[in-house]
Structure 1
Amino acid sequence: MKYRKAAIQDLNQLVELRKKQLVDEGIEPNIDIDTELYDFFQSKLTDGSLIQWLVEDQNEIIACGAIIFYDFPPSFTNKTGKQGYITNMFTREDYRGQGIATKLLKILVDEAKELSVSKLWLGASKLGKPVYKKFGFQETNEWMELNI
């Protein structure tokens, strides 16, 4: 399997992966969001506020994960103020249980550390929650967080 960063050339695949993830989480696809997703990924990849990783098996994308970066005022618990939101975590059903999401998560966390991000958070799906807990994320009232 090949792990790589997404590029502008991957925009159409990113749109499709995001829609699959949402449907997988039980969200009804009752509106067309293709244009909005395309514009979102194009903008965020271009300005560097999103880092999206892809996993390929035999030249087919089978998993993905991303971080969206935010700047907050520095605080005593987050000196840089930089935080990252983990999103777009998706593994195709026939590839689940092989540690792919955990490896992707490690790649994302390592990348965040390199960029001086000291706090990560996410909204976990029922399916993803055990992966994040095992990795070290702690539940809060609304989010799961990992101080790194």
Structure 2
Amino acid sequence: MTATLRAVVPSDCDLICKHRHDMFLAAGDADAAAAAMSPVYKAWQQQALRSGAYFGFIAEVDGTAIGGVGLMVVNWPPHQLHPDITQRGYVLNVFVEPEYRGKGIAKQMMAAADAELKRRGVTHAVLTATDQARPVYEKDGWQQTAQMAKQVF
């Protein structure tokens, strides 16, 4: 199945928030799902869409949104693995409605994401994957890294 992809626009804010919410619920993270619908997240999302800091694609079938992928370009210091790279693409909010999963929609969206990052001169990208999604990304050439996180109090 092939979906029609269109660029995200500021009026997609509620849809992106809903996809993010449903993405976290599908991953079993009810707390993150609730945070995705918070006024703070929505305000951040609206500002990022308006400024162009958040861009990406919405997948549609027969005019109905069935998925999406978000992208950002983040300034990043060079390091030994990428000594000449000062920015990274950040892929987030990858979501496909359950009834459309397994039909190549995510692969189509990720190919468009790769092309858009390349068009913007970005040569290295990162994302956070659930255990469920990791095999899908690995088939597309993504590799697990040793990145860790912590809450700073």
TM range (shorter): 0.7 to 0.9
Cα distance, 1:135 vs structure 2? 0.6
Give the alignment's TM-score, normalised by structure 2.
0.84
Contact 2:21 2:34 in 1 (8 A): no
Q: Quick one: which amino acid aligns to residue 133 of structure 1?
A: E
Measured in 2, the distance between the counterparts of 1:78 and 1:19 equals 36
Q: Quick one: which amino acid aligns to residue 40 of structure 1?
A: W
Give the alignment's TM-score, normalised by structure 1.
0.86
Q: Deviation per CA, 1:91-130: give whole Å up to 9, x if none.
A: 1111011111011111111111111112101111122111
Measured in 2, the distance between the counterparts of 1:51 and 1:63 equals 14
Asked if residue 45 in structure 1 is aligned to residue 42 in structure 2, the reply is no
SS in structure 2 at match of 1:126: coil
Measured in 1, the distance between the counterparts of 2:79 and 2:30 equals 39
**Sequence identity, in percent?**
23
**Alignment RMSD (CA, Å):** 2.0
SS in structure 1 at match of 2:30: coil
Point out the more displaced range, 55-64 or 100-109. Answer: 55-64
Cα distance, 1:81 vs structure 2? 0.7
Contact 1:82 1:116 in 2 (8 A): no
Asked if residue 139 in structure 1 is aligned to residue 139 in structure 2, the reply is no
Aligned residues: 143
Cα distance, 1:88 vs structure 2? 0.4
Contact 1:54 1:65 in 2 (8 A): yes
Q: 1:122 aligns with which of 119, 127, 138?
A: 127
Q: Match of 1:36?
A: 40
Q: Deviation per CA, 1:5-29: give whole Å up to 9, x if none.
A: 1101111111111111111111115
**Structure 2 gap segments, 5+ residues each:** 149-153
Cα distance, 1:74 vs structure 2? 4.4
Measured in 2, the distance between the counterparts of 1:53 and 1:5 equals 4
Matches within 5 A, 1:23-102: 23-29=25-31, 31=34, 33-74=37-78, 77-102=82-107
Contact 1:80 1:116 in 2 (8 A): no
Higher-RCO chain (CA-CA 8 Å, sequence separation at least 6): 2
Cα distance, 1:67 vs structure 2? 1.4
- In structure 2, relative to structure 1, the CA distance for the partners of 1:121 and 1:38 (3 Å cut) is same
Q: Per residue, is there more strand in 1 or in 2?
A: 1
**Structure 1 gap segments, 5+ residues each:** 144-148
Contact 1:55 1:64 in 2 (8 A): yes
Contact 2:13 2:49 in 1 (8 A): no
Q: 1:15 aligns with which of 14, 17, 21?
A: 17
Q: 1:6 aligns with which of 2, 5, 8?
A: 8
